Structure 1
Amino acid sequence: MKRFIPAFRNISLALVSAAALMVSSCRSQSEKLAEEIAGTWSSAPEQLTTTGATRATMVRVMDFTRTSSDATDGAVTMTALITVDNVMPASGHLDTPLTITASGAATITGVFQVKDDDDILVSLDYSSLQVSVDPAAVQLNYNILTQDSSPEVESLRPGALHLATQQIRQAATSVFSDLTEIEDVKIHTDLLSCEIAHKDLSFRRQQPQ
């Protein structure tokens, strides 16, 4: 029985070494992804269908900051740059439909944790959500402005601003609520591809390395 003890010890040591090597390898891959993801990334424009607006587009911006130079976790800021178009039918002194265009930003903060070599867990703090729409950027596009129609068009600006803010908040909340994990992350220099909420997305680093 004693002759088997050294062999058993050798096998145990080999298993421990292999396990340690696997843990080290996984951690190094996670650290590599954490290092590569650090910085600010912006997506290509995408269409939104959950705003209630006639047309809406969004650009996503993700900013990752590691807690330390070798950490696999850190702080994340997600921003949705959203533009909405609403069409009001002709009425009163408005002889043709009026198109209202407004742009705004919705920003939320949270934390991230690299899960493995191509997945990142995200936890967002919904109490940090902020939505801003520039009143001066609200565009009232009307084909024919007359002495009678011009004041009526301008009187619609406050309501248009309120509506756009609601729509942008609704769209951003829908987008952020689905963001709990970023999967299949692939980074090639300054290009990033991934999957968020079963949707394939691509991003470009804002400050190329």
Structure 2
Amino acid sequence: MNLYSASFFGALTVLGAIVLSTSCSRMQDYAGAWQGLPVRLEGVSGASDASSVVTIDFAPSDSKNGSGDVMLLATVDVSQAVESGSPFVADQAYQVDVAATASISGRYVPEDDAYDDVLLLSLDASTLKVNIDPAGVTFSQNVLTGLQQPALDSLTAQTVDAWRVRVTSAIREEFSKYQKIEDVKVHHADMMSCEIADRDYTFRRISIR
């Protein structure tokens, strides 16, 4: 091998090392948990209003290809205006507010080994969990004063069961949008911007790994 060839291949080796080092460094830049802003949650059947706040938790596990574990967590707030005629409250309309949490986990990997501004997520549907705490279900005050405790407990239980099904369907669809996260950029170490399903999102760092 002549001097020119040795220099050429040596330069390629150095360049490859720089690219790998830069990519790994950038992967570490957004390792940790990032919380988004409240967005309207579409597809919640029967809701007069529904919103969610999604947190993405990146846990790098392979420095060679920049892949790792990922978890999506969401807090969901739902409101429903119930017309009069309910079996429990037949003579007046009322409002119910429900607070839920949801999570799903999986793996992520950069779309291109050399550039990590596009992440592909493979989410495991079997890990999807949706929880509604009965303590987070609230009714209009005038309904509460008109109900005996057993009737209120029954109404709360029915509300939890019904909304768990509705929220699960909607949040499953919302999480599916995160299969590809594009144009990922970290700003000043504590803000992250990206594009998800052709929409711009901003997240703030809430923990570092």
Cα distance, 1:198 vs structure 2: 1.2
Structure 1 length normalisation: TM-score? 0.82
Aligned-pair Cα RMSD in Å: 2.8
Q: Tell me which residue corresponds to 1:186.
A: 185
Cα distance, 1:33 vs structure 2: 2.3
- In the TM superposition, 1:137-176 aligns within 5 A as 137-143=136-142, 147=146, 155-176=154-175
Cα distance, 1:162 vs structure 2: 1.3
- Which AA in structure 1 matches 2:176? S
Q: Does 2:69 match 1:75?
A: yes
- In the TM superposition, 1:1-20 aligns within 5 A as 10=4, 16=9, 19-20=12-13
Give the secondary-structure state (helix, strand or coil) at the position aligned to 2:173. Answer: helix
Write the distance in 2 (CA, Å) between the matches of 1:201 and 1:148: 43
Contact 2:71 2:106 in 1 (8 A): yes
Cα distance, 1:149 vs structure 2: 8.2
Give the secondary-structure state (helix, strand or coil) at the position aligned to 2:178. Answer: coil
User: Runs (4+) of structure 1 moved beyond 3 Å?
Assistant: 12-26, 68-71, 92-96, 142-155
Write the distance in 2 (CA, Å) between the matches of 1:148 and 1:134: 20
Note the residue ranges of structure 2 that are not aligned, 5 or more in a row.
none
Specify whether residues 24 and 208 from structure 1 end up closer, same or farther in structure 2 by C-alpha distance, changes over 3 A only.
closer
Note the residue ranges of structure 1 that are not aligned, 5 or more in a row.
none
Higher alpha-carbon Rg: 1
What percentage of aligned pairs have identical amino acids? 30
Write the distance in 2 (CA, Å) between the matches of 1:129 and 1:141: 31
- Which AA in structure 2 matches 1:185? V
Aligned residues: 202
Give the secondary-structure state (helix, strand or coil) at the position aligned to 1:84. Answer: strand
Q: Tell me which residue corresponds to 1:48.
A: 41
- Which AA in structure 2 matches 1:192? M
